Structure 1
């Protein structure tokens, strides 16, 4: 089918809404404050995660105050006696998964060394990796998969990649995690190891498949599992009669956009859709709510007057200066530095291979990296109580919808009203445990 008519797996979900993504203090957000919103139900300040608005960016003392901590929906599930897990193609300590288990005033304080370099004390404001091991929410995670081994290994020990770890405190957090699980935990570092996991008899699974972020799909080695493969393994470990919560992120949609490598960004979106499709195959929409959304938008746009079926990785049209322009372009980014070496005019794209996976698409304003944008983002929902996702909503409503559907958390839930005369059993099931 032509691209205009093709649909991704989640585009067939019956309910769609829009979420407003601003931080408390910024119009255009970052991934830390937005992840805090859609995972913990409160808006936060730029660069902070797992904390409320009383914590400013880099305010170590404020982030150390438990009164400023907010629990994530994963923790709500844990407190209800249900399993939880996280998957990402980024470091598991990165800005989006971090708010699931950590409380930090600075998204980049992923290891104790990062905090020391900032002139702060990791004994006062613990690093994010250590919180995954030490905090109750982190310890309660049944599945942890992604990248970031360097944040878990001491700097006097070489990681399996051959590079020294990044921790200054001498802690090997992987070994600590295994000791914590007392024989019930399985650690894997590559696809072969993941494929060998007996998911039906595994209580805890940690897979760290890269020293830092995982490789983009178009670059990844055979030793790195795909997002869909990680999703399948996670669901099989988590699946039980009591229900579970699973967070699945393709952080490389974001990283590719930041470098204006649109081919990779769209490929990663397709990879994410495959993970959603796998989740649909392994679950039942009668008792499983699936929510697909984004933390924020980017500045990429599709422009020009191309005919139907036109290759989106091609030229849109010819500008008034007689030079072609790309169908895809960005408002800002590193490629804006390109100009004709002789005249200084707009660079001529004629001989460029726009289909190359590493091609940096043109942008208007020169920036080191492309920035986020402030658009509302789509929220696609399928399953019990999915209709609550409709309309234009605040982003921090999303976890409350999840909690309402799954009967977890401290607020009112669907279980509270399941016996009301106006609600039939089919319309308001007493338990909708899986999300």
Structure 2
């Protein structure tokens, strides 16, 4: 499963146009790698208690198959936000699609451009009544007992299913280190319990007598790609990975490189694997109204999917590409074909002032009017630089998510199951069906029956799962 965090339909349309224009074409006719997939559907993103999803309730839906409350992870809607006691009730605790795969003898892993303890990747292994409980200090700050509700980084290293993942790649070293320690690049940790979870991860693998490697830079990742240890932990930044347009690729890997290493490691299991790959910084750039960065991160996700297509066989693989929620970026104006997608529209507003082809309904990029007129943002210093903020209607400290549906693209075995409009929580159940694991019906069970008879039965069962969720 590939997920573009906040990758809305307008984001896709603008990113494909930018990709084409970088190659000297008009752009609108271009396709991102996964836009050529044979099946596409739409998923509804709302949470149980929120019309607009955050990344934790949507991660719970996408990875655990149940809709939940906003800001909670791996828990049913019976658990209110920050309610530690309620999160410990066994009936409220969910298993992820990765846990289903592990139970069936498959391998599992996670790749992200964010902290590996951030909301979306945490959805594959953590159960937390607060998505921000990434370290013990975060739990304690809310007056909660860390022994009763361990922090997310601790869960990844010491609890199932995270401690069984063969590959963990992303950012977030600070969540694993104590405040008195510094990481490999001199940044202090955030923990207050005196623990070094990176060393504890290594010690756990040594006790199991398995081969393992910890990597924090590009060269070490390449070494891992050459030797392929049984277990790999890669933390390439103290916080999130840097934006692709701003990083030094001699020291920091691309999302495509991370994806390749993960697939090569996990493919050694003859029974198969489940891998979650997140292009997480699309979301962060949108929140800051920095549209150039958001589109470039979307193009990077497309490159990672293209790498996966080179490594996997369509006859025995399934790739699903989707988003967790949308953003409020608009692709607008009546510009001519091939007009610069990052530039101003060919039109002007009613006062004759230029406006951008890509803008936001809210966020920090709002400029106050001057004498009742919008300012001409094209005259600003730094206009069109990656960190430049496009114009905005409603001023907010951070741009909000949108509430619209997200696309679901599918390629490979049983890709046809992902057409139509359905609840976001259906996605992992359909993947598990196609992959022949999990507690529900499996494609392998019905392999001898005609698909015309099998598929209605599967859809009926998924409808039942929806009702129960």
What TM-score do you get using the length of structure 2 for normalisation?
Answer: 0.88
Higher helix share: 2
Contact 2:377/2:391 (CA < 8 Å) preserved in 1?
no
Q: Superposed, which structure 2 residues align to 1:165-176 within 5 Å?
A: 165-176=189-200
Please say if 1:393 is aligned against 2:417.
no
The answer for the alignment partner of 1:250 in structure 2 is 279
The answer for the alignment partner of 2:55 in structure 1 is 31
The answer for the alignment partner of 2:181 in structure 1 is 157
Per mean C-alpha deviation after superposition, the further-off stretch among 119-128 and 391-400 is 119-128
Contact 1:314/1:354 (CA < 8 Å) preserved in 2?
no
Contact 1:405/1:414 (CA < 8 Å) preserved in 2?
yes
3-state SS of paired residue (1:409): coil
Please say if 1:75 is aligned against 2:105.
no
Aligned match for 1:42, one of 63, 66, 76: 66
RMSD: 1.5
Aligned match for 2:310, one of 261, 267, 281: 281
What displacement does 1:423 show? 7.8
Rounded Cα–Cα distance in structure 2 between residues aligned with 1:322 and 1:416: 65
The answer for the alignment partner of 2:220 in structure 1 is 193
What TM-score do you get using the length of structure 1 for normalisation?
Answer: 0.95
Rounded Cα–Cα distance in structure 2 between residues aligned with 1:197 and 1:407: 30
Gaps of 5+ in 1: 425-435
The answer for the alignment partner of 1:430 in structure 2 is none
The answer for the alignment partner of 1:330 in structure 2 is 360
Aligned match for 1:238, one of 253, 256, 266: 266
Q: Residues 191 and 368 (structure 1 numbering): CA distance in 2 closer, same or farther, change over 3 Å?
A: same
What displacement does 1:20 show? 0.3
What displacement does 1:343 show? 3.2
Rounded Cα–Cα distance in structure 2 between residues aligned with 1:406 and 1:350: 51
3-state SS of paired residue (2:232): strand
3-state SS of paired residue (2:28): coil
Rounded Cα–Cα distance in structure 2 between residues aligned with 1:39 and 1:320: 47
Rounded Cα–Cα distance in structure 1 between residues aligned with 2:80 and 2:138: 18
Q: Residues 25 and 423 (structure 1 numbering): CA distance in 2 closer, same or farther, change over 3 Å?
A: closer
3-state SS of paired residue (2:409): strand
The answer for the alignment partner of 1:307 in structure 2 is 336
Rounded Cα–Cα distance in structure 1 between residues aligned with 2:116 and 2:187: 18
Contact 1:16/1:380 (CA < 8 Å) preserved in 2?
yes
Q: Deviations over 1:363-411 (max 9, x none)?
A: 1111110000011000000001110100001000000011000111110
Contact 1:200/1:237 (CA < 8 Å) preserved in 2?
no
Task: State the structure with bigger RCO (CA 8 A, min sep 6), 1 or 2.
Answer: 2
What displacement does 1:197 show? 1.3
Rounded Cα–Cα distance in structure 2 between residues aligned with 1:189 and 1:198: 14
The answer for the alignment partner of 2:11 in structure 1 is none
Q: Residues 138 and 350 (structure 1 numbering): CA distance in 2 closer, same or farther, change over 3 Å?
A: closer
3-state SS of paired residue (1:54): coil
Rounded Cα–Cα distance in structure 1 between residues aligned with 2:141 and 2:351: 49
Per mean C-alpha deviation after superposition, the further-off stretch among 62-71 and 345-354 is 345-354
3-state SS of paired residue (1:96): helix
What displacement does 1:339 show? 2.2
Rounded Cα–Cα distance in structure 2 between residues aligned with 1:172 and 1:251: 25
Q: Superposed, which structure 2 residues align to 1:33-432 within 5 Å?
A: 33-182=57-206, 183-199=210-226, 201-221=228-248, 222-240=250-268, 241-316=270-345, 317-336=347-366, 338-340=367-369, 343=371, 345-352=373-380, 354-420=383-449
Rounded Cα–Cα distance in structure 2 between residues aligned with 1:422 and 1:287: 17
3-state SS of paired residue (1:87): strand
What displacement does 1:350 show? 3.4
Contact 1:199/1:236 (CA < 8 Å) preserved in 2?
no
3-state SS of paired residue (1:196): helix
Q: Residues 366 and 201 (structure 1 numbering): CA distance in 2 closer, same or farther, change over 3 Å?
A: closer
Rounded Cα–Cα distance in structure 2 between residues aligned with 1:199 and 1:333: 44
